[in-house]
Structure 1
Amino acid sequence: MAPRKLAAGNWKMNGDLAALDQLDDMAAAAEGATCDVLICPPALLIHPMMARIGASDLLVGGQDCHHADKGAHTGDIAALQLRDAGATHVILGHSERRADHGETDAMVRAKAQAAHAAGLTAIICVGETEAERDADRTLDVIATQLAGSVPDGANARNTVLAYEPVWAIGTGRTPTLDQIAQVHALMRDHLSARLSDGADVALLYGGSVKPANAAEIFAIAHVNGALVGGASLKAADFVPIITALDAA
């Protein structure tokens, strides 16, 4: 099978009940699309979001999970709890989690294993900092993160990889098309060598994706979709990205 295209929106620590009004147009765009459409809101919004979209094709996911099924982990959320609330996916290893919470590759790997055990698709994020890019270490950094963060049980059905250069997230800056292509080729080669169906794992690009640049990004080899931050908060911005991916 070919990688399934995915337009994923990461609302981060944004949104409230009133923001759910944005879902109507997003759900309409998801109906009959050739790509999957996913919104990952703050955890408190997952249940009301599920109630709002009903039987829509729009998917809902979490932004993180703990590696344990349950226990004395105040403030954390288990993958099983996300699944119980209706989530189908969970974002893991986002650079903001790695930087703000000290998450290591080993921690991300353990969380991905928990997500898989719970029946969730793990969206595992990798990406280099500006200093690493300037030092020409991008490919080494990505290869190390892939080796350490992706569990052996990963496959095209339970795992999605997202490349998000840290210096491009929320800054309006975007790597060149050649730079994006280089990293995605590395990711594809790594997964193909390691996993029996690595050629079919969806690879997303994230980092200041917007309607104006979506089509040219989706035309790059091995780019199967996007992990979108700020532009996923409003339907007026996210729907054109969905449309561009659907046409890619």
Structure 2
Amino acid sequence: MKSWIVGNWKLNPASVSAVQALVDDLVEGVDAQSTALQNCHIMVAPSLLHLSQVEDILRTKSAAIKLVCQDVSALSAETGAYTGDVSAQQLQDLGVQWAIIGHSERRQYFNEDNDTLLNKMKHCAAQGLGVIFCIGESEADFEAGNTTQVLAEQLTIIADFLQHSEAADADYIANKLIIAYEPVWAIGTGKVPSVEEVTEVHKFIRERLQSFEATLAKTPVLYGGSVKPENAQDFAASEQINGVLVGGAALKADSFLDIAKAFSK
């Protein structure tokens, strides 16, 4: 299985020129290191404002980098009177291939609950968009030993999707679902769980998914939270960790590609 290396740019960079420079550096780096990166899927998630710009560059310069959106509408899969939203249909038409849903920042700042996230997943499925579904526990839950209970509750969305879906949707989720485990306390804080801790959590996630549907045993499970070139090799050594969701280190092409090279090995 190839590793998945996803760069979530969040609300960065600040200018069109900075986006251009970052994408140019990424394209140049991927081209120059294609052999070293051959065992990785490289993906980037720009801000919504810059999606079209990045798509245009990648379409003309690099088919090797996949395009991801940081969010998708829960209100409609197509069109409607939902000011400020963007639909799965609009993203698919633009050339976006995947969407991130359930990120802890969306859960925290926008109060996204399970019903909202389930709608988003259904809309992505209706338009053939892949889903990178984020889960993770707070520091308080981690310290209280409640990690698996929190993750089990968050993963019920997958079970609900399968329960109310047709066979075609079950096939979709077996091929277009990625789970990203991001302990909330490790995102942008510099605090990093041990590889052993992440490996055990990933085993739990995989077993939970398999209990919903046997084919989900092959679902990629990524780690996210203060991932850097300095620790990427350690995470890449675990067979349970199929890649990473990278934040700050994705804003520089060199550091992002160094992480990818660690997983490609």
* Cα pair 1:46 1:86 within 8 Å, conserved: no
CA contact (8 A) 1:181 1:222 kept: yes
How far did residue 182 of structure 1 move?
1.4
CA distance in 1, matches of 2:22, 2:54: 11
> How much does 1:55 deviate?
4.8
Cα distance per residue 1:179-236 (max 9 Å; x no partner): 1011100111011221231121111100000000001111123210000011101102
What is the CA–CA distance in structure 1 between the aligned matches of 2:114 and 2:223, rounded to whole Å?
19
| Structure 2 match to 1:205 | 223
Corresponding residue number in structure 1 for 2:84: 75
Cross-structure match for 1:42: 47
- Counterparts of 2:236 and 2:115, CA distance in 1: 30
1:106-159: per-residue Cα shift (whole Å, max 9, x none)?
Answer: 211210111111111100000000111111100100011011356214533111
Q: CA deviation at 1:20?
A: 2.3
Percent of pairs with identical residues: 37
List gaps (5 residues or longer) in structure 1. Answer: none
Per the normalisation by structure 1, the TM-score is 0.94
Match of 1:22 in 2: 22
**1:9 and 2:7 aligned:** yes
Mapped partners of 1:116, 1:35: distance in 2: 24
How many residues are treated as equivalent by the alignment? Answer: 245
1:109 matches 2:110: no
Q: Which residue, out of 53, 57, 69, partners 1:62?
A: 69
Report the counterpart of residue 156 of structure 2 in structure 1.
147
Distance 2:232 2:116 in 1: 31
Query: 2 CA distance for matches of 1:221 and 1:109?
Result: 29
Letter in 2 for 1:10: N
1:161 aligns with 2:179: yes
Aligned-partner SS, 2:214: coil
- Secondary structure of the corresponding residue to residue 155 of structure 2: helix
Contact 1:156–1:202 under 8 Å retained in 2: no
The answer to whether 1:185 aligns with 2:179 is: no
Residue identity matched to 2:80: G
Within 2, Cα distance between the matches of 1:55 and 1:110? 34
In the alignment, the residues of structure 2 paired with residue 24 and residue 246 of structure 1 have an alpha-carbon distance, to the nearest angstrom, of: 21
Greater helix share, 1 or 2?
2
Structure 1: which amino acid aligns with 2:199?
A
In structure 1, C-alpha distance between the alignment counterparts of 2:157 and 2:125, rounded to whole Å: 16
The residue aligned with 2:93 is 84
Please report how far the alpha carbon of residue 5 of structure 1 lies from its aligned counterpart in structure 2 after TM superposition: 1.8
Amino acid at match of 1:100: Y
Does 2:129 match 1:130? no
Amino acid of the residue matched to residue 5 of structure 1? Answer: S
Distance 2:263 2:196 in 1: 19
One-letter amino acid matched to 2:5: A
CA distance in 1, matches of 2:53, 2:101: 22
Which of the two has higher C-alpha Rg?
Answer: 2
2:102 matched to 1:93?
Answer: yes
Q: 1:246 to 1:25 in 2, by over 3 A?
A: farther
CA distance in 2, matches of 1:59, 1:182: 29
